[in-house]
Structure 1
Amino acid sequence: MGEILVGACSWTDRQLVASGWYPSGRRDAEGRLRHYASRLPVVEVDSGYYALPSRRNSELWVERTPDGFRFDVKAFSLLTGHPTRVEALPADLRRAGFGPARRGRASPALLDEVWGRFAQAVEPLRAAGRLGAVLFQFPPWFAPGDEAGETLRECARRTAGWPVAVEFRHPGWWRAECAEDTRALLAGLGVSAVGVDMAQGLPSSLPPVAPVTRPALAVVRFHGRSAEWGRGSKEDRFRHDYSVAELAAWVPRLRRAARQADELHVLFNNCCADAAVRAAETMSGLLTRSRR
């Protein structure tokens, strides 16, 4: 049975900071991370999607967390084909005239530079054994097919030696007729598939599966079950308080996944107030009790 690490998809979310989960005196940058790491063993760095991460921040995160703590870093939007604002690029790249185009497409020179800077930024985490995975979350229009397969192969080439996890937003990847091909593709590339929990019955709904394609690591992300998924504000899309029954229904699936992987990361993305950290702590308790 692999180790199961449960956490949230952010420790810096403004609503979490305002919720009171962080005690008085632990609400500065260092205090927040040290407090979070004393309560939960893994966290996702979602800010990496919105702007290139900083090597200095990675060094500080290593200093402020214990051995065994894991950071799953979300890949920068440009690297997954998402629309990317020019303002999200470092100032020197903007001054040099680099700018992403529609749907995240960019020149080869810009992509090479961004890939290089992203790698440099996460290297302190990798070197310290804190890098759980780099999460590549592909957009809803990233559908199964030859072009997508080549994109995934290029991603695997660029990230050789990294622990990589891939999450799809297009439901076609995990439909019954494609699921085995998806598993085989990701396993052949040596990357971890990301299972999801989300609202069902929507055109974009993915099934609640926890596929394991890489023995070293499996990942499941809980997005909440809001009917506003895919539209409205961030709060509308992710607002959900998981009930104990909803979480308990996942325990057998998670334990099956953990039997196939050295480590399983369970991450809650329902980041409204302290809903994600509360769900993470509840799920940790359920998984602990299920072992008895």
Structure 2
Amino acid sequence: MDIRCGTAGWTDKTLIACKRFYPRGSSSAEARLRFYASQFPLVEVDSAYYAMPSASNAQLWFERTPEGFTFNFKAFRLFTGHQTSPDALPRDIAMALPDGIISARKKNVYYRDMPGDIRDELWQRYREALEPLRASRRLGAVLFQFAPWITRAPDGLALVEECRARMAGYMMAAEFRNQSWFDDEHAAWSLEFLRERGIVHVIVDAPPDVSNRVHTVWEVTNPALAMVRLHGRNTQTWGATGAASAADRFDYDYSEAELTDLAVPIRAIARRAGRTHVIFNNCFEDQGQRNARTLMSVLEGIKDAP
């Protein structure tokens, strides 16, 4: 079984500030990525959610990582239905937005607001940014984490369909946040919807006692890849509107017992896919990195057990 573990990002401010993961002297972007890639075979580029990625950075990341290392990309927030500040757009595109899209009362833009030509340009630039990693076989999946208000209604399905069409030729993964996708009545339909389109279903671990999360469904929808993303189980911070950062929201340290329990379904799902990616999104300080190492050790121990 090909199970690869990694974390959502490698440059979180709290990770660097805690000084527990990176060795002394790893003060440059290049040194940090090289060290990270010596410890894990996989990383998720979460910064691509907050701003459009660039081909120049992707080329540097290729040069700084060994053969066999994999980058998953988190899709730009505008594409997944999230509210987006014009400041997150490339400057020339923000300047080209038609009058009326932004106003004193409406400071964010949404994908539905974008004129067709601007949509086309954004998608083109996004694919161009991925090209150095795709061409070098460093690119894994592009993760679309759809906004909590994206449901199975026609407009939600249309957005998923458009993303799939725009990403033709790439491995696309979908993480839904609205419960309508995988409640008891609709889970089978949603899984088949993903299978028919070759979209990877993202299995999530999150606080079990909150309502604004999708159900955890251990299923494979693309035989080439299974994906598990572990968000931690911090109920208090999960929906906190005042959280200063993603690190604060996903502040959770999995115990070895919890990771041992999770290793069982992870191994079961890995038997049904060519590769399995496990991403720790509990990005406060070095929690994700420590937990990923522990899970790798647990999985290795299970493999070697008689």
What's the % identity of the aligned pairs? 45
- Using the alignment, how far apart are the partners of 2:239 and 2:121 within structure 1? 31
Partner of 2:4: 5
Equivalent in the alignment of 1:161:
169
TM-score w.r.t. the length of structure 2 is: 0.92
- In the alignment, which of 243, 262, 275 is matched to residue 250 of structure 1? 262
Partner AA of 1:259 in structure 2: R
Q: Does residue 1:239 correspond to 2:271, yes or no?
A: no
Say whether residues 1:186 and 2:199 are aligned partners.
no
Deviation of 1:124 (Å) = 0.7
Give the deviation of 1:95 after TM superposition. Answer: 2.8
Q: How many residues align?
A: 291
Q: In structure 1, what residue type is equivalent to 2:161?
A: R
**Partner deviation per Cα, 1:194-235 (whole Å, 9 max, x = no partner):** 010000111113333332100111111000111121213134
Deviation at 1:102, TM superposition (A): 4.3
Name the residue aligned to 1:55: 55
Segment of structure 1 superposing worse, 60-69 or 205-214: 205-214
Structure 1 match to 2:73: 73
Q: Distance in 2 between matches of 1:147 and 1:49?
A: 21
- Deviations along 1:215-274, one digit per CA (max 9) or x if unpaired, are 111111000111121213134421101001111111111011111111100000010000
| Other structure's SS at 1:129 match | coil
> Equivalents in 2 of 1:164, 1:230: separation in Å?
26
* Superposition CA RMSD, Å: 1.4
Give the Cα separation in 2 of the matches to 1:158 and 1:207.
Answer: 27
Do the aligned residues in 2 keep the contact of 1:77 with 1:104 (CA within 8 Å)?
no
Q: Tell me, which stretches of 5 or more residues in structure 2 are unaligned? A: 103-107
1:178 maps to amino acid: H
- SS of the residue corresponding to residue 271 of structure 2 reads helix
Deviating beyond 6 angstroms after TM superposition, the runs of 4 or more aligned structure 1 residues are none
- CA separation of 1:148 and 1:41: change in aligned 2, threshold 3 A: same
Please, what TM-score do these two structures have when normalized by structure 1? 0.96
> 2: CA distance between counterparts of 1:73 and 1:131?
8
- 1:11-63 deviation line (CA, Å, top 9, x unaligned): 01111111211111222100000000000110000010111001010001011
SS in 1 for 2:217: coil
Residue of structure 2 equivalent to 1:230: 239
Partner of 1:18: 17
Is the CA contact (8 Å cut-off) linking 1:200 and 1:206 kept in structure 2?
no
> Which 10-residue stretch deviates more, 134-143 or 210-219?
210-219
> Given the alignment of the two structures, is residue 203 of structure 1 paired with residue 211 of structure 2, yes or no?
yes
Question: Deviation digits for residues 54-98 of structure 1, max 9, x if unmatched?
Answer: 101000101111111110101111111111110111112123336
- Structure 1 residue runs of 5 or longer lacking an equivalent are none
Give the deviation of 1:139 after TM superposition: 0.4
Cross-structure match for 1:109: 117
CA contact (8 A) 2:248 2:284 kept: no
The reply on whether 1:171 has 2:210 as its aligned counterpart is no
